[in-house]
Amino acid sequence: FKESLQEIADVAPLTLDKSLVNLHANINSVMEIDQVLRNGASGVGLFRTEYLYMDRDSLPSEEEQFEVYRHAAIQLKGRPIVIRTLDIGGDKKLDYMPLAKEDNPFLGYRAIRISLDRSDLFMTQIRAILRASHFGNVKIMYPMVTSLDEVRQAKSYLERAKLELSALGVPYNANIEVGLTIEVPAAAIIADVLASEVNFMSIGTNDLVQYVLAVDRMNENIAHLYNPYHPAVIRLLKTVIDAGKRAGIPVGVCGEMAGDIRALPIWLGLGIEELSISVQTLLQVKHRLLSSDAATCKSLVDRILLCRTSDEIIELLAQTEQLEQ
């Protein structure tokens, strides 16, 4: 089966009725880029840069980061690469930068909140990303945004970094695309507002599901309650995707749910334009995509939106899968 999957690596990611869904890859390290290319991904939809900061004794310098981002951009030969700024806190720690102990780290000092508080770290990273943008199709994405204010603040740091580089005569893409992850319920609810301020949005279902359901994604005692098929989640996904469409900007998904084969009819039915998936599962999703019909998925989603429980939703999805076989 693996070998036959490899055969579809270079096939265009179109449904039977010719809807295009870009299949991008999530990477934690640039070492994965070879596999990204081998599996025919149209780009990198999420580069989790925190791994560059982990497993070492000090912060990576601007130069070090620039080299990594530049190399990645060049290797991808014009395909997009979405570089997500540092997302530590929550479950991810840096040994050399101890954060105060918190009772609720997932609700605490995390991601963009740290970046906006530690502008020294943030500016170093933004300058490195901007410099790399001269060498390929680099985009920047801010994690765990909750308000319009945060987006505006992050963008003003970006503008400041551009001025600094310009003053030094360092080249960069002045029109670099800016995006944010939608992974906090507040952001999902005001996605229409946030959409007016960015070039793209990407739904981080891993965090969005934990925050919508108030179920810690790391807590094994309640793992059975972590259910991406809860009707509240599905309704919220629709809100975000519709907001993106109205604003005329692309919306993607970069959480694990993007790579869950079962969820594919939901994405197709909601009209998603991009799925960013771990390199390991990308071709399995593509296999199902190639034999799916987007119009059928649209009517399925109409029925899913009427469901009252996750069991009802999962049952409908299972029936669809059986019909396909």
Chain positions contacting ligand PEP, by CB under 6 A = 46, 48, 87, 183, 204-207, 254-255
Nearest distance from C-beta of residue 135 to Mg ion, angstroms: 27
Select 84 or 230, whichever has its Cβ closest to Mg ion: 84
Amino acid present at 246: R
CA 115 from chain center: how many Å?
18
By rule CB under 5 A, what count of residues binds Mg ion?
Answer: 3
**Structure tokens given for 217:** 């994604």
C-alpha R_g of the chain: 20
217 is in an annotated binding site: yes
Question: CB under 5 to 8 A by kind: which of Mg ion, ligand PEP, none does 260 bind?
Answer: none
Task: Report the distance separating Cα 30 and Cα 191, nearest Å.
Answer: 30
Contacting range for Mg ion; rule: CB under 5 A; set: 152-160, 199-207, 262-270, 296-304: 199-207
Contacting range for Mg ion; rule: CB under 5 A; set: 14-22, 66-74, 204-212, 260-268: 204-212
Select 15 or 206, whichever has its Cβ closest to ligand PEP: 206
Select 46 or 301, whichever has its Cβ closest to Mg ion: 46
Task: Report the distance separating Cα 75 and Cα 146, nearest Å.
Answer: 33
Nearest distance from C-beta of residue 252 to ligand PEP, angstroms: 10
Stretch 125-184 residues interacting with Mg ion (CB under 5 A): 183
Nearest distance from C-beta of residue 258 to ligand PEP, angstroms: 8
Q: What is the DSSP letter of 10?
A: T
Q: 171 by DSSP, 3-state: which? A: coil
79 is in an annotated binding site: no
Does 297 participate in catalysis according to the annotation?
A: no
Closest CA to 288 of 247, 253, 259: 259
Nearest distance from C-beta of residue 44 to ligand PEP, angstroms: 13
Is 207 a binding residue for Mg ion by CB under 5 A? The answer is: yes
Task: Report the distance separating Cα 93 and Cα 91, nearest Å.
Answer: 7
Question: CB under 5 to 8 A by kind: which of Mg ion, ligand PEP, none does 205 bind?
Answer: ligand PEP
Q: What is the DSSP letter of 147?
A: S
Q: Nearest 5°: phi and psi at 152? A: -65, -40
Task: Report the distance separating Cα 69 and Cα 31, nearest Å.
Answer: 12
Tell me the residue nearest to Mg ion as measured from the CB. Answer: 207
**For the chain, how far is it from start to end, CA to CA, in angstroms?**
16
**Structure tokens given for 278:** 């771990």
Marked catalytic residue, from 30, 72, 254, 285: 254
206 is in an annotated binding site: yes
**Cβ neighbours of residue 121 closer than 8 Å, sequence gap 6 or more:** 59, 86, 114, 115
Residue 310 burial (C-beta neighbours within 10 Å; 0-12, 13-18, 19+): middle
Closest CA to 233 of 225, 222, 244, 221: 225
Task: Report the distance separating Cα 182 and Cα 296, nearest Å.
Answer: 27
CA dihedral 13, 43, 134, 61 (to 10 degrees): 170
Select 216 or 286, whichever has its Cβ closest to Mg ion: 216
Nearest distance from C-beta of residue 43 to ligand PEP, angstroms: 16
Pattern 174-193, binding to Mg ion, x per CB under 5 A? Answer: ---------x----------
Is 204 a binding residue for Mg ion by CB under 5 A? The answer is: yes
Nearest distance from C-beta of residue 175 to ligand PEP, angstroms: 25
Binding residues vs Mg ion (CB under 5 A):
183, 204, 207
Residue list, annotated binding site = 48, 84, 183, 206-207, 217
Residue list, annotated binding site for Mg(2+) = 183, 207
Residue list, annotated binding site for phosphoenolpyruvate = 48, 84, 206-207, 217
Catalytic residue annotation: 254
